Amino acid sequence: METRASETPSGDSFFVRNSFLIYRLFSLSGLLPIGGYLVIHLLTNATVLDSPATFQKQVYTIHSLGMLLPVVEWMFIFLPLIFHAVVGMTVISTMHANTAAYPHGPNIRYTLQRATGMIAMVFILWHVFHMHKMFAAFEGLGAAQFDPHHAASSAGDALQASLFVQLGYFIGVVACVYHLANGLWTFGITWGLWLSAAAQKRAAYICGGFGVLVLVFGLSALFGMTQVDTEKARVIEDRMHQEQLRLQGEDVANDTSVDDAVH
Ligand code: HEM
């Protein structure tokens, strides 16, 4: 019988033969870089609570990577996330939910980990479409709302558009944070960091506390965006943009986008 390229003569696919390594990489990618990025992302966005200028400064720091930014985004965020999501969906497709028959804590958390993984996937796809400039061609459909030169006002406008948007972000942020905090606990088991029942109990408190802290960052960011006075923020951001251009030695007078935004 003919053997496909991805199979050994014994019939095991590439994924079955390398399942140990793939699962370890899947586990690692969930914590670093994806989990680490999630924490920094929520914390950065929460700085909007201080002021639109504080948030704008953070965004300028990130964008100072210039042409390297897309490379960093793809290498450390999008590709690991796609890998984690593809393996995660494969894990989910083989799961047998039995929480109705055995409704105890670990079993419920096991099911919630998978449910929040799926919610995170849908939310992140929508969020990237909603905010990221790579979808600028679909602006008419509500995409690519975030403008790095008008960080707080553009994110504020996007978040203040409707209650539906705010609810979507609330559910998405809560799901991502739960998934990370509970994932941190299962990560410790995957890598043998806490194996005894007592160690797992202690770790559960630490991961729970970590989850509450990250949730505070996330909900502060969300609340902060809904509170931005976008008109006032735009004036501050325009001034900061002009200062940026002056520092870069560019001719502000020729920059019609700044004039358009100010007037
Ligand atoms: C915010 C983005 C995400 C973060 C921070 C994240 C993080 C993590 C972490 C740290 C783990 C624990 C790994 C381990 O137990 O060794 C994990 C597990 C898991 N993730 Fe994600 N993940 C994210 C998105 C997703 C997405 C989009 C999916 C796709 C559905 C997904 C599906 C899963 C599944 C099914 C598990 C459980 C695996 C198991 O226990 O066997 N995750 N995730």
Read off the pLDDT of each residue in 230-256 and give the average, rounded to a whole number.
84
Q: What is the pLDDT of residue 105?
A: 79
Atom in ligand 1 nearest the alpha carbon of residue 26 = 13
Average model confidence (pLDDT) across the chain: 91
CA 5 to ligand 1 centroid distance, Å: 29
What is the best residue among 31, 78, 84, 171 to mutate for testing ligand 1's pocket, by most ligand atoms within 8 Å of CB?
84
Beta strands in 31-70 (DSSP E): none
Condensed to tens digits (0 to 9), the pLDDT of residues 103-134 reads: 777 889 999 999 999 999 999 999 999 999 99
Residue 187 CA to chain centroid, in angstroms?
Answer: 18
Residue among 57, 44, 48 nearest 244 (CA): 57
What letter does residue 193 receive in the DSSP assignment? S
Q: How confident is the model at residue 137 (pLDDT cuts 50, 70, 90)?
A: very high
15-94+110-262 CATH pick, 1.20.1300, 3.30.70, 1.10.1160, 3.40.630 = 1.20.1300
Any ligand 1 atom below 6 A from CB of 176: yes
Are 255 and 249 in contact by the 8 Å Cβ rule? The answer is: no
Q: How confident is the model at residue 253 (pLDDT cuts 50, 70, 90)?
A: low
CA 17 to ligand 1 centroid distance, Å: 21
pLDDT exceeds 90 at position 94:
no
Kindly report the protein residue whose alpha carbon is nearest to atom 11 of ligand 1. Answer: 183
52-63 vs 36-46: helix crossing angle, rounded to 10: 140
The domain spans of the chain are: 15-94+110-262
Are 180 and 211 in contact by the 8 Å Cβ rule? The answer is: yes
Q: How far apart are CA 30 and CA 49, in angstroms?
A: 28
What letter does residue 192 receive in the DSSP assignment? T
Return the residue matching tokens 């809560």. Answer: 174
* Beta partners for residue 7, in sequence order: 13
What is the CB neighbour count within 10 angstroms for residue 19? 15
Residue 164 token pair? 């539906």
CA 106 to ligand 1 centroid distance, Å: 16
Read off the pLDDT of each residue in 187-213 and give the average, rounded to a whole number.
98
* Burial bucket for residue 120 (CB in 10 Å: 0-12, 13-18, 19+): buried
> Cα(first)–Cα(last) distance of the chain, in Å?
73
Read off the pLDDT of each residue in 91-105 and give the average, rounded to a whole number.
78
Q: How far apart are CA 238 and CA 131, in angstroms?
A: 20
Residue 49 token pair? 């609570």
What letter does residue 161 receive in the DSSP assignment? S
H helices, E strands: number in the chain: 12, 0
Condensed to tens digits (0 to 9), the pLDDT of residues 78-88 reads: 999 999 999 99
Q: What is the pLDDT of residue 116?
A: 98
Any ligand 1 atom below 6 A from CB of 113: yes
* Beta partners for residue 13, in sequence order: 7
What is the best residue among 42, 78, 113 to mutate for testing ligand 1's pocket, by most ligand atoms within 8 Å of CB?
113
Q: How far apart are CA 220 and CA 213, in angstroms?
A: 11
